[in-house]
Each structure stands twice: as C-alpha cells, then as structure tokens.
C-alpha cells in the first residue's frame, strides 16, 4: 500500500481470530479456511495473499479485493554497548515507532510501544516532545514483538521471556488494542506466554486500571508515580491534575483486590527534586495502601535540561530508607542509554 494513501479495504491483520472466522464464514467459506488464513498471516508472517498457496485462487482473489495486509517494517536499528537493541519500525501511513530488546543472563525482555507519540505530556519524557499522532492497532503491537523475538533468538538462541508495555505512549488509552495484543501474546495459537510475564505500565488512568482488573488478564501492573504528593507530581505529570493521587490509590486498591497481585511502583529519581527523605517518606506512606514493589530509576538524560540524574549517594539513601520500612525495592540499572533506548528516551531520533 502507498504510504499515506487511504484505502477502503480492511486490514486483515487487525482482526482477531474470532473476527476473521466470522468474516470468512459470512462469505460462505468453511471454518478451516479461516484457520489456514490465520496461520499464513501469523505463523508464516505472509504479507501477500498470492503466496497463500493452500487457498484456492478464487479465494485469494476475493481476499485481495476486500482486504489488505499491512505490517510494520523495521528499517533502522542500533545496538548498545551493553547489548540492548533498539529498532525503529515504519508503519503503513509513514509514522514510525521504536521498540527495545533488553537481554540479560536470565531473560530477554521486549519493551514495546502502544501509541505513536503520547498525549499525556510528561515534562521529563522525550516521547512527549512528539505529541500524539494515533493509537497503534494490535497487529502493529505484535509486529514489534515478532521483530524483537527474532532478534532475541539471533543474539542468544532464546525467545522473548518477558514483555513490558513501557515504550512510546500510554497503553491504557489504547485499551482495545492492548487487550487484543495480550490475548494474542498469551494464546497457545499466538506466542503462548504466561500473563505473569507481561507488565503494563501506566501513568494512572483510574477507570481503565479497574477495567483491566475486571478483564481478568492477570498481567502485572506498573504505575509511573515519580512523586507521592499532588503538587510535585502535577509539575512532572500534568495529567495528575485530572487523576490526583487519591484516585490512583482507589484504583490500585481495586486492582489488588480483584487480581490479588502486588503493584509495581516506578519512581524516577531526579536530582534535588524528588530524591530527598521527605519524598521517600511520602512514597512509603503511599505504598501502605496495597502490597507493592518499587523500582527506583535514576533519571536517563534527555533534551530536557532542567532535569538532572540523582546522585548515586542519594539513590542509595532513598532505597535504604524504603527497605527499612519493609518495602521491596529494586534500583533499576539503566540499559541502552547510549542509543537513547532507556526509560523515557524514546523519541524516534535513530
């Protein structure tokens, strides 16, 4: 398809297996045809109906007339000195997104995007500088995973073991595609991965956090908090004015009650902003509302010069204070910062 050109055809890869089966049945074809098409699309990664040789020629011609096959195509990649791999993918309409593979001795983690850009405007995040273009379809989400899964096998001989929705965009503002992707990832006919190996990170969309709990996806939930008082958090995350901390506490309590899962709190540490013991006490009080584990993340430098990385001495003091409060704390080591692939750095800069 020509970049930017609108089409009346349906992108067949945007359909779930159930939706595809229904569409094929409505055209008078037996159920096994939908299964064949699904395998061509997702098992064999076919992007041309002509190559679907197990289908009759009339059926292939009918499919080509009514549907199109759109896919995200990797066109640029970078490899960090620490082994982190970042790929840039071009979408059918010319927009581009980034996805990251983070390998270590025990796992291969894919950090993937859910939107082109982001509309929430967090002041410290490079993605915010892009503005918001559009949501990704679930197949565009999956394309990132297929690309990174292949790379993981090439690099280590092992497939992806973990997936985090922590790339570009706010996953809970693209809920339907997120849900379809989770279903595809966990389905035996998809990637067959346990939902406990999937983490959805959010700035905090209370209504959608509760909905995610009700959907019984059993994925892990991570909240990008970064400050536990409204004044400071709003200065970092303008959306906090819409969803203040009391709303988040209510939603996260609900998520824990429904799922029984411990909440992950993501907390970026900025120099002389939120790295003092007062901030640590506020965070500890916030975490008394439900079982948590905290990931402390020293800020990864971007073009926003007003933010600086917290000194490691302050990071250590902050972590030790929380541990003394019997809270599970991990200080996350930044990966891929030399290729702008670390947390908060994704901005399509290549």
Q: What is the pLDDT of residues 46-95, one digit of tens each?
A: 999 999 999 999 999 999 999 999 999 999 999 999 889 999 999 999 99
**Residue 93: inside a domain, yes or no?**
yes
Q: Checking DSSP bridges between strand 96-103 and strand 85-90, what pairing results, if any?
A: antiparallel
Asked if residue 346 has pLDDT above 80, the reply is: no
Inter-CA distances, 106 with 103, 114, 170, 230, 293, Å: 8, 26, 28, 38, 20
Q: What is the pLDDT of residue 332?
A: 87
**Residue 304: inside a domain, yes or no?**
yes
* Segment 230-252, tens digit of pLDDT: 999 999 999 999 999 999 999 99
Q: Angle at CA 149, nearest 5°, toward 268 and 19?
A: 100
Instruction: Looking at the structure, tell me whether residues 24 and 116 fall in a common domain.
Output: no
CATH code of the domain in which 120 resides? 3.20.20.70
Sign of CA dihedral 146, 149, 155, 157: negative
**Residue 350: inside a domain, yes or no?**
no
Least confident span in 19-28, 218-227, 327-336: 327-336
pTM of this structure: 0.91
Which of 47, 68, 89 terminates a domain? The answer is 68
Instruction: Looking at the structure, tell me whether residues 260 and 196 fall in a common domain.
Output: yes
Contact 107, 94 (CB under 8 A): no
**Residue 264: inside a domain, yes or no?**
yes
Instruction: Looking at the structure, tell me whether residues 234 and 286 fall in a common domain.
Output: yes
DSSP 280: H
Catalytic residue among 68, 98, 243, 282: 98
Residue 318, phi then psi, degrees to nearest 5: -60, -45
Instruction: Looking at the structure, tell me whether residues 45 and 112 fall in a common domain.
Output: no
Task: Indicate if 147 belongs to the active site.
Answer: no
Catalytic residue among 111, 118, 125, 343: 343
Asked if residue 5 has pLDDT above 60, the reply is: no
Residue 126 pLDDT level (bands cut at 50, 70, 90): confident
**Residue 2: inside a domain, yes or no?**
no
CATH code of the domain in which 22 resides? 1.10.150.530
Instruction: Looking at the structure, tell me whether residues 60 and 138 fall in a common domain.
Output: no
Instruction: Looking at the structure, tell me whether residues 29 and 172 fall in a common domain.
Output: no
Asked if residue 305 has pLDDT above 90, the reply is: no
DSSP string, 134-203: EEPPHHHHHHHHHHHHHHHHHHHS----EEEE-SSS-GGGSHHHHHHHHHHHHSTTTT---GGGEEEEES
What number is the average pLDDT over the span 214-238?
97
Q: What is the pLDDT of residue 228?
A: 98
**Residue 344: inside a domain, yes or no?**
no
Q: What is the pLDDT of residue 328?
A: 97
Inter-CA distances, 277 with 269, 272, 281, 309, 322, Å: 12, 11, 6, 16, 10
**Residue 4: inside a domain, yes or no?**
no
Which of 68, 83, 114 terminates a domain? The answer is 68
Least confident span in 122-126, 222-226, 271-275, 325-329: 122-126
Which of 68, 86, 105 terminates a domain? The answer is 68
Instruction: Looking at the structure, tell me whether residues 60 and 83 fall in a common domain.
Output: no
Q: What is the pLDDT of residue 4?
A: 46
Task: Indicate if 243 belongs to the active site.
Answer: no
Instruction: Looking at the structure, tell me whether residues 211 and 115 fall in a common domain.
Output: yes
For residue 49, give both structure tokens: 């109906």
What number is the average pLDDT over the span 277-285?
98
Instruction: Looking at the structure, tell me whether residues 64 and 77 fall in a common domain.
Output: no
Q: What is the pLDDT of residue 349?
A: 56
Q: What is the pLDDT of residue 340?
A: 60
Instruction: Looking at the structure, tell me whether residues 177 and 225 fall in a common domain.
Output: yes
Q: How far is CA 285 from the centre of its chain?
A: 28
Q: What is the pLDDT of residue 268?
A: 95
Adjacent-strand bridge partners of 117: 132
Task: Give the three-state DSSP class for 333.
Answer: coil
Q: What is the pLDDT of residue 6?
A: 57
* Segment 318-337, tens digit of pLDDT: 999 999 999 999 998 777 66
Print the domain residue range for 143.
73-339
Contact 315, 273 (CB under 8 A): no
Residue 96 to residue 92: CA distance in whole angstroms: 9
Count of domains for the chain? 2
Average pLDDT of the residues of the chain: 92
Instruction: Looking at the structure, tell me whether residues 56 and 87 fall in a common domain.
Output: no
Q: What is the pLDDT of residue 127?
A: 86
Instruction: Looking at the structure, tell me whether residues 57 and 104 fall in a common domain.
Output: no
* Segment 128-168, tens digit of pLDDT: 888 999 999 999 999 999 999 999 999 999 999 999 999 99
Instruction: Name the residue with higher pLDDT: 103 or 348.
Output: 103
**Residue 56: inside a domain, yes or no?**
yes
What number is the average pLDDT over the span 208-226?
97
């Amino acid at each position: 398809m020509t970049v930017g050109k609108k089409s009346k055809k349906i992108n067949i890869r945007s359909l779930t297996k159930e939706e595809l089966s229904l569409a094929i049945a409505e055209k008078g074809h037996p159920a096994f045809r939908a299964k064949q098409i699904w395998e061509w699309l997702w098992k064999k990664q076919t992007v041309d109906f002509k190559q679907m040789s197990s289908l009759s020629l009339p059926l292939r011609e009918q499919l080509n007339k009514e549907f199109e096959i759109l896919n995200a195509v990797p066109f640029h990649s970078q490899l960090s000195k620490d082994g982190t791999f970042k790929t840039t993918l071009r979408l059918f309409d010319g927009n581009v997104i980034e996805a990251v593979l983070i390998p270590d001795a025990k796992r291969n983690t894919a950090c993937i995007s859910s939107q082109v850009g982001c509309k929430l405007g967090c002041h410290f995040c490079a993605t915010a500088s892009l503005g918001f273009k559009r949501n990704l379809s679930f197949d565009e989400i999956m394309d990132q995973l297929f690309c990174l899964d292949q790379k993981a096998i090439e690099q280590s001989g092992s497939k992806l073991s973990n997936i985090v929705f922590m790339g570009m965009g706010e996953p809970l503002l693209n809920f339907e595609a997120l849900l379809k992707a989770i279903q595809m990832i966990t389905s035996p006919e998809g990637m067959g991965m346990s939902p406990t190996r999937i983490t959805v990170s959010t700035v905090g969309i209370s209504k959608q956090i509760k909905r995610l709990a009700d959907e019984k996806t059993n994925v892990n939930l991570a909240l990008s908090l970064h400050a536990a008082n409204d004044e400071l958090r709003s200065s970092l995350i303008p959306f906090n004015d819409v969803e203040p901390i009391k709303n988040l506490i209510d939603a996260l309590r609900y998520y824990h009650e429904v799922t029984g899962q411990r909440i992950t709190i993501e907390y970026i540490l900025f120099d002389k902003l939120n790295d003092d013991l007062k901030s640590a006490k506020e965070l500890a009080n916030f975490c008394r509302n439900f079982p948590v584990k905290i990931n402390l993340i020293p800020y990864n430098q971007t073009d926003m010069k007003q933010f600086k990385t917290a000194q490691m001495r302050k990071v250590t003091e902050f972590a030790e204070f929380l541990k003394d409060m019997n809270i599970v704390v991990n200080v996350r080591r930044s990966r891929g910062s030399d290729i702008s692939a670390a947390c908060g750095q994704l901005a399509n800069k290549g």
